[in-house]
């Protein structure tokens, strides 16, 4: 009997379920502060949801079981996702109602999610990764994504979100928030775009010239080991020199601080994943495939454009995907050298011991990174040749 029960358990989803439940059981699921400065008072999920507390555990527990029939797996996963979405929405709803009641009594109070809520969300994300990775087609993944983000849109539309302290920080910094978000995207995406233009040819060159490729990988590996702050500092000196002694460089916006060293550093950090994946993409192509092209009378450039490059696209896009997600996160650190971006709010919040201001910068960075990762996954699925096996991608 025990063996049959254990066979019905989906181990990855069991892990996600346990993470969700542990977050829901923590006594600091939500927090309340009389003002911005004092220490928060923790509130548990039971305190904010009342008598319906245990109902929220049912969807979190059911995701741990495998579907009865393999053919109905996708429909069961959709139902599981809907259950988790239901749990998430009502958790947000109860938290919002609690925040509204607190604000009615004290207008300067600060309320918001605490450690338990973030652990709960981590469990949901782990569950989403599990079911998305098993989906063979793009459409189920898009359905799972839509179902799980729907509670956030409903919560934002309800207006209850405005009672959270992070929303109040946003209201106070809205114009700057939009400007810094655009700046963050331009720095992170722009630096990776440059790395793609340089890295893909460099990866192909490394594939064609193995001895030179080893030297390229050696240099890029050393760059990758340099801490972000140190690399920013190293680049400040030569860029400041250029700005001082070459007027055209200063006119172009190059200086020792600001955007220039940030873009240069992120460009260098982004090279290794792109060059390495490009090299491995061409290296893994079966020799017989290119020989067949030559047998059909194709020239070298035709083999590259019509055979090698299309077959390499999924692996190359994986390298670009890694670089983009890494760059979005590292751009936050660039605020320390005056480059701007969402890191401005993170470090300003650290300086003022304002947790909500830190979240105003950190949460969008996480969302942008997750969105970028998902967008690149979809792009890889669309651009991959139809005859290419999934294990190659």
User: What does the DSSP assignment read for 292-347?
Assistant: HHHHTT--HHHHIIIIIHHHHHHHHHHHHHHHHHHHHHHHTGGGGGT--STHHHHH
Residue 31: what are its φ and ψ, rounded to 5°? -135, 150
Three-class secondary structure of residue 111 per DSSP: strand
Write down the pLDDT at residue 260.
84
- Better-scored residue on pLDDT, 326 or 256: 326
Is residue 392 pLDDT above 50, yes or no?
Answer: no
Is residue 189 pLDDT above 90, yes or no?
Answer: yes
DSSP 26: S
Mean pLDDT of 202-218: 89
Mean pLDDT of 324-338: 89
Is residue 92 pLDDT above 70, yes or no?
Answer: yes
In angstroms, the CA 298 to CA 320 distance is 29
Write down the pLDDT at residue 188.
93
Is residue 262 pLDDT above 70, yes or no?
Answer: yes
Is residue 42 pLDDT above 80, yes or no?
Answer: yes
- Better-scored residue on pLDDT, 384 or 252: 384
Mean pLDDT of 326-334: 90
Is residue 193 pLDDT above 90, yes or no?
Answer: yes
Q: What domains are defined for the chain?
A: 2-164 (no CATH), 174-383 (1.10.3720.10)
- Better-scored residue on pLDDT, 232 or 314: 314
Question: Contact, 349 vs 335, CB < 8 A?
Answer: no
Question: Contact, 31 vs 111, CB < 8 A?
Answer: yes
- Give the chain's end-to-end CA distance (angstroms, integer): 40
Q: What is the pLDDT confidence band of residue 252, given thresholds at 50, 70 and 90?
A: low
Write down the pLDDT at residue 283.
86
Beta strands in the chain (DSSP E): 30-33, 41-43, 110-113
Q: Which of 4-13, 47-56, 219-228, 245-254 has the lowest mean pLDDT?
A: 245-254
Q: Which of 28-32, 120-124, 251-255, 266-270 has the lowest mean pLDDT?
A: 251-255
DSSP 113: E
Mean pLDDT of 195-207: 92
Q: What is the pLDDT confidence band of residue 248, given thresholds at 50, 70 and 90?
A: low
Q: What is the pLDDT confidence band of residue 1, given thresholds at 50, 70 and 90?
A: low
Is residue 351 pLDDT above 90, yes or no?
Answer: no
């Amino acid at each position: 009997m025990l063996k049959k029960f254990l066979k019905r358990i989906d181990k990855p989803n069991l892990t996600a379920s346990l993470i969700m439940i542990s977050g829901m059981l923590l006594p600091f699921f939500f927090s309340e502060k009389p003002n911005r400065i004092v220490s928060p008072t923790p509130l548990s999920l039971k305190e904010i949801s009342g008598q319906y507390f245990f109902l929220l555990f049912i969807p979190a527990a059911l995701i741990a079981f495998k579907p009865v029939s393999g053919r109905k797996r996708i429909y069961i996963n959709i139902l599981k996702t809907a259950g988790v979405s239901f749990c998430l929405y009502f958790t947000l709803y109860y938290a919002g109602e609690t925040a509204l009641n607190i604000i009615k009594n004290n207008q300067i109070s600060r309320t918001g999610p605490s450690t338990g809520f973030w652990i709960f969300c981590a469990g949901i994300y782990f569950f989403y990764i599990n079911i998305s990775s098993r989906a063979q087609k793009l459409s189920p993944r898009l359905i799972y994504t839509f179902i799980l983000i729907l509670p956030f849109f409903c919560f934002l539309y309800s207006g209850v979100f405005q009672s959270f302290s992070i929303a109040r920080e946003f209201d106070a910094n809205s114009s700057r928030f939009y400007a810094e978000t655009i700046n963050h995207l331009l720095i992170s995406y722009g630096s990776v775009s440059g790395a793609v233009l340089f890295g893909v040819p460099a990866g192909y060159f490394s594939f064609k010239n193995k001895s030179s490729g080893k030297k390229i990988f050696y240099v890029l590996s050393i760059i990758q080991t340099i801490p972000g702050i140190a690399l920013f500092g190293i680049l400040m000196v030569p860029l400041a020199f250029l700005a001082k002694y070459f007027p055209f460089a200063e006119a172009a916006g190059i200086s020792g601080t600001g955007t220039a060293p940030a873009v240069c550093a992120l460009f260098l950090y982004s090279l290794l994943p792109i060059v390495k994946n490009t090299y491995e993409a061409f290296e893994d192509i079966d020799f017989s495939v290119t020989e067949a092209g030559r047998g059909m009378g194709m020239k070298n450039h035709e083999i590259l454009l019509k055979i090698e490059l299309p077959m390499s696209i999924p692996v190359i896009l994986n390298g670009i995907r890694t670089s983009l997600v890494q760059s979005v996160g590292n751009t936050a650190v660039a605020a320390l050298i005056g480059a701007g971006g969402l890191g401005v709010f993170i470090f300003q919040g650290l300086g003022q011991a304002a947790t909500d201001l830190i979240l105003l910068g950190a949460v969008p960075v996480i969302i942008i990174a997750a969105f970028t990762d998902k967008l690149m996954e979809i792009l890889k699925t669309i651009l991959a040749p139809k005859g290419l096996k999934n294990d190659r991608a």
